[in-house]
A and B are shown apart, each in its own frame.
Chain A
Amino acid sequence: EAQVTQNPRYLITVTGKKLTVTCSQNMNHEYMSWYRQDPGLGLRQIYYSMNVEVTDKGDVPEGYKVSRKEKRNFPLILESPSPNQTSLYFCASSKSGSHDNSPLHFGNGTRLTVT
């Protein structure tokens, strides 16, 4: 089954404790992206990757890191989480990063709480 898999689904952590949220897609998609979703603010892009070893900042990259060493994986790293990073996170992928109209496929989301 074609899918984007995120783990964990729920995560509660404390300020400053490094964490990684994993994302994997099995559709051989070139483009992958991370979003956070907050009430009243909608979906905001954190980082994106056009292909392997190619990553760039989105709208809200501060406090986050990503890597794209393999085509299928795009982990999101919070080196020193803070309470303002409490949010619902989504990984998404599409066939291409160029304008070919291919839709975004979303993972199931990770609800992160930082205390």
Chain B
Amino acid sequence: QKEVEQNSGPLSVPEGAIASLNCTYSDRGSQSFFWYRQYSGKSPELIMSIYSNGDKEDGRFTAQLNKASQYVSLLIRDSQPSDSATYLCAATPLLNAGNNRKLIWGLGTSLAVNP
């Protein structure tokens, strides 16, 4: 069973701090990794994607991928109250039946940024 695991949280950080969100995956052949942000009752919104080992930065967000450890993380610098949401980690396995682009989703980590 291919899995993506996240700590459910809540992760609470003060405004201006760095929030660190972590995700592990079981399928060593996973190719692509995505971080989505989801506000309560709203749809998931893509924050970052990462495909190669190392870091990828976009504004206040940095995604980190370590395929050897099967670990992907998201760092949010200068956290703002508006960053308070659930962050979903997703992975694309190497092979799916019928080429279904079926993402394997984690259950998400709830982040609370306190003013």
Interface footprint category on B: 20 to 34
- In the assembled complex, which residues on chain B have CB atoms less than 8 Å from the CB atom of A90? 43-44
Give Cα distance in the complex from A97 to B103, angstroms. Answer: 11
Which of B41, B43, B92 gathers most chain A CB within 10 Å? B43
**From residue 19 to 43 of chain B, which have CB atoms closer than 8 A to chain A?**
31-32, 34, 41-43
- In the assembled complex, which residues on chain A have CB atoms less than 8 Å from the CB atom of B41? 88, 109, 111
B82 CB-CB contact with A under 8 Å:
no
Q: Which of B32, B46, B49, B88 contacts A43 (CB 8 A)?
A: B88
B78 CB-CB contact with A under 8 Å:
no
- In the assembled complex, which residues on chain B have CB atoms less than 8 Å from the CB atom of A14? none
Q: Which of A42, A50, A103 contacts B107 (CB 8 A)?
A: A42
A96 CB-CB contact with B under 8 Å:
yes
Which of B99, B100, B101 gathers most chain A CB within 10 Å? B101
Tally chain A residues at the interface, Cβ within 8 Å.
27
B115 CB-CB contact with A under 8 Å:
no
**From residue 71 to 115 of chain B, which have CB atoms closer than 8 A to chain A?**
88, 92, 94, 98-103, 105-108
**From residue 4 to 55 of chain A, which have CB atoms closer than 8 A to chain B?**
31, 33, 40-43, 45, 48, 50
Give Cα distance in the complex from A11 to B101, angstroms. Answer: 29
**Quick check: A42 and B32 within 8 Å, CB to CB?**
no
With A50-B99, A101-B32 known to touch, is A42 a contact of B106 (CB < 8 Å)? yes
B61 CB-CB contact with A under 8 Å:
no
Q: Which chain A residues have a beta carbon within 8 Å of chain B's beta carbons? A: 31, 33, 40-43, 45, 48, 50, 56, 58, 88, 90, 94, 96-99, 101, 103-109, 111
- 18 extra A-B contacts, CB within 8 A, seeds A42-B88, A106-B43, A111-B41: A31-B101, A41-B107, A42-B105, A42-B107, A50-B98, A94-B101, A96-B101, A97-B101, A98-B99, A98-B101, A99-B31, A101-B32, A103-B46, A104-B103, A106-B44, A108-B42, A109-B41, A109-B43
